Structure 1
Amino acid sequence: MELHQVRYFLALANTLNFTRAAEMCSVTQPALTKGVQRLEQELGGQLIYRERQLTHLTDLGKAVLPMLERALASTEAVRRRAREFQQKDVAPLAIGLAPSISACLVLEPIAEIRKFVPGLDVELREEQPSRLVELLLEGEVNVALVGDLDEKPDRIDDWALFEERYVAVLSASHELADLPAIGIEALREAIILDRSNCDVASKFQRLWFPDVPPNQIHSSCRDLHLQHLAAAGLGIILAPEHMPRLPSLKALPIEGDPVWREVRLLAVQGRRYSPALDAFVKVARLRDWSPHTGSRLRSEHHSRLEAANIVE
């Protein structure tokens, strides 16, 4: 099936006149007629009743018309997108986020690079860290933010952006909500909402529940689902401090701040960076993350300042 044949048929379906359809397509009438006939041969049936005064679509023509319209529109959109890309009118950037990394972390870097990367087109994709590594290598995402990562291929560049503590998130009406901090014994007795595939679950298990598993009745792989459960008083979430919270929830420190994790930036080593990717990596690595994620956060930026004796 040739695109010009589809275009000829759509023009004819719109005008129901071979002469006007040929003029719309800037071809001769015999050329248009031949193109429509070849399309009919390929589809295995007549699309147009050719009558002098009553040219109209057949039932087959009516059936395939919307599909051919969508096919032509999609093809034209692809061409337009390719043209914009070649002209640098579009700068795509696919960012992968591990489930425990909130999109709020990348909003300000995106806004910053948008100022000097025209046509920035961002796609955010949430996957497990191991899957994000695969998507990086496959070229499906350009860069990824993950938490603790067990292992990664040598081909993956890896930069530590900052460290953050985990806190207890609970309803303001929860019986423990008025404490200045929550102790480990209280957590052992409380209902802990289970975040499926949590990247620091092994740390919680090792530190607080070495012999008996936590009391976990409710679970979800979505932070928002867990927050609604917590807001209903059904348990406590152990969450990274940067995670945005529902207004009815509050975050309490855990005594001694026992659990911290790194947030890391991943990209494929040796792969040519697009302007959008290059800008994002530079902004992310140079950014001071601590004001955005909490005063207790230890950022790479802050560490560099301390090393230079700029921060007391």
Structure 2
Amino acid sequence: MHQIKYFLAVTRTLNFTRAADQCNVTQPSLTRAIQKLEDEFGGILFNRERALTHLTELGRMVLPHLEQTYEAAEAATLLANSIGKAEVTPLVIGVADGLHLPVMDDILANLATTLPALTLDVRGGTSAQVLDAALKGGIDLVIIAMPEQAPDRLETWPLFQQRYAVAVAAHHRGGNGQPIAMAEVAAEPWIDCGDAGTAIWRNAACAMGSTPTFRHKVESRSQALRLAALGLGHVIVPAGLAAPGLRVVSLSDCELYQKVVLGAVAGRRRGYAAEAFLRAARARDWQPVGTDPAGQVGLIKLESAQSTAAGSAL
């Protein structure tokens, strides 16, 4: 594992001497470790050109895999060392409303198993509210939509792109699961959840010349889904969400999404549980299966409209 550690240090510094200093080893030792790694992969990982050291094509290809492997190993080591600790292990995490986070649920379940003294405090709100609370102190980590202009104090790690779709009553004509055109449903009743997904939909529809009619307003997604199942209106939800009495269908003429990140205040000391969550989160693949992370699906690309909507939601 130390070979991967040295490789990642060189990719950050692009300098073998500085990388050796960061890893507290001699430069020849680091070089030998990199050479052993190259022997295992059967190719050169770095083009060594004095001050112009840079990754080869092979190096660029293996980089994301080695990063994930190293983070996973670090997370496993951290969690293993925590077993049997009797101290209270608090974790305060802020999560923006409206996100669908099965991976977070899995990580928290594992933490609860490996950290018997774990105490969780999960706080919600809009991305802007959660971020503001974190900057003021009291929140260890946040999972939010990426701000258009992130504060200098915010350190972020990309997680995935949250896709949004339309939840309609099962008896609606869209209940067959086929994609629906925006013009078909924009004028029908809608339910405002007050979250980022609703804001993105409103801005995207307006950009295409439609004005959604938000007849109902609720404070939580569960309330919105209940009304939608009764046929009182449609609601924008994370793609892939399932709920009784509803069908979640995509829009055929646009793609609604926002970039979701894990964030922490730079320089602020993190507790044991927060560090364990961070390492586990960075080692996992958060992108839902069957979605296009590049965000290029759809007959009409509304990236500018979505960006504006995300900004207004923040």
TM-score, normalised by the number of residues in structure 1 = 0.61
Partner of 2:145 in structure 1?
Answer: 147
Q: Counterparts of 1:276 and 1:298 in 2: how far apart (Å)?
A: 29
Question: Deviation of residue 298 (structure 1)?
Answer: 2.6
Partner of 2:291 in structure 1?
Answer: 296
Contact 1:98/1:127 (<8 A) preserved? yes
Question: Deviation of residue 148 (structure 1)?
Answer: 4.4
Q: Which has the larger radius of gyration?
A: 1
RMSD of Structure 2 on Structure 1 (CA): 2.2
Give the alignment partner of residue 269 of structure 1, picking from 266, 271, 292: 266
Question: Deviation of residue 143 (structure 1)?
Answer: 0.8
Partner of 2:106 in structure 1?
Answer: 108
Q: Counterparts of 1:201 and 1:225 in 2: how far apart (Å)?
A: 14
Give the secondary structure class of the aligned counterpart of 2:128.
helix
Judging changes above 3 Å, is the alpha-carbon distance between structure 1 residues 242 and 178 closer, same or farther for their aligned structure 2 residues?
A: closer
Deviations 1:3-61 (A, max 9, x none): xxxxxxxxxxxxxxxxxxxxxxxxxxxxxxxxxxxxxxxxxxxxxxxxxxxxxxxxxxx
Contact 1:100/1:147 (<8 A) preserved? no
Contact 2:197/2:236 (<8 A) preserved? no
Most deviating of 205-214 and 174-183: 205-214
Q: Which letter does structure 2 place at the counterpart of 1:154?
A: D
Give the alignment partner of residue 189 of structure 2, picking from 170, 188, 191: 191
Question: Deviation of residue 157 (structure 1)?
Answer: 0.9
5+ residue gaps in structure 1?
Answer: 1-86, 300-312
Q: Which letter does structure 1 place at the counterpart of 2:87?
A: D
Alignment of structure 1 residues 205-244 onto 2, 5 Å: 205-210=202-207, 211-241=209-239, 243=241
Contact 2:98/2:196 (<8 A) preserved? yes
Judging changes above 3 Å, is the alpha-carbon distance between structure 1 residues 175 and 135 closer, same or farther for their aligned structure 2 residues?
A: same
Partner of 2:250 in structure 1?
Answer: 253
Give the secondary structure class of the aligned counterpart of 1:140.
coil
Contact 1:158/1:267 (<8 A) preserved? yes
Q: Counterparts of 1:90 and 1:105 in 2: how far apart (Å)?
A: 24
Deviations 1:227-275 (A, max 9, x none): 01101001111112254x4322121111155111111111110111211
Most deviating of 279-288 and 225-234: 279-288
Q: Counterparts of 2:86 and 2:134 in 1: how far apart (Å)?
A: 23
Partner of 2:121 in structure 1?
Answer: 123
Judging changes above 3 Å, is the alpha-carbon distance between structure 1 residues 224 and 202 closer, same or farther for their aligned structure 2 residues?
A: closer
Q: Which letter does structure 1 place at the counterpart of 2:259?
A: E
Judging changes above 3 Å, is the alpha-carbon distance between structure 1 residues 279 and 179 closer, same or farther for their aligned structure 2 residues?
A: closer
Give the secondary structure class of the aligned counterpart of 1:247.
coil
Judging changes above 3 Å, is the alpha-carbon distance between structure 1 residues 297 and 105 closer, same or farther for their aligned structure 2 residues?
A: farther
Contact 2:192/2:198 (<8 A) preserved? no
Question: Deviation of residue 147 (structure 1)?
Answer: 2.3
Contact 1:101/1:147 (<8 A) preserved? no
Partner of 2:201 in structure 1?
Answer: 204
Judging changes above 3 Å, is the alpha-carbon distance between structure 1 residues 150 and 201 closer, same or farther for their aligned structure 2 residues?
A: farther
Deviations 1:283-310 (A, max 9, x none): 11121123xx3421539xxxxxxxxxxx
Deviations 1:116-161 (A, max 9, x none): 3341111111122222122212322111111243433211111110
The size of the alignment, in residue pairs, is 209
Partner of 1:77 in structure 2?
Answer: none
Q: Counterparts of 1:164 and 1:133 in 2: how far apart (Å)?
A: 18
Partner of 1:180 in structure 2?
Answer: 178
Contact 2:239/2:250 (<8 A) preserved? no
Give the secondary structure class of the aligned counterpart of 2:173.
coil
Partner of 1:48 in structure 2?
Answer: none
Contact 2:100/2:238 (<8 A) preserved? no
Q: Counterparts of 2:204 and 2:101 in 1: how far apart (Å)?
A: 29
Partner of 1:6 in structure 2?
Answer: none
Q: Counterparts of 2:124 and 2:292 in 1: how far apart (Å)?
A: 23
Q: Counterparts of 1:171 and 1:294 in 2: how far apart (Å)?
A: 24
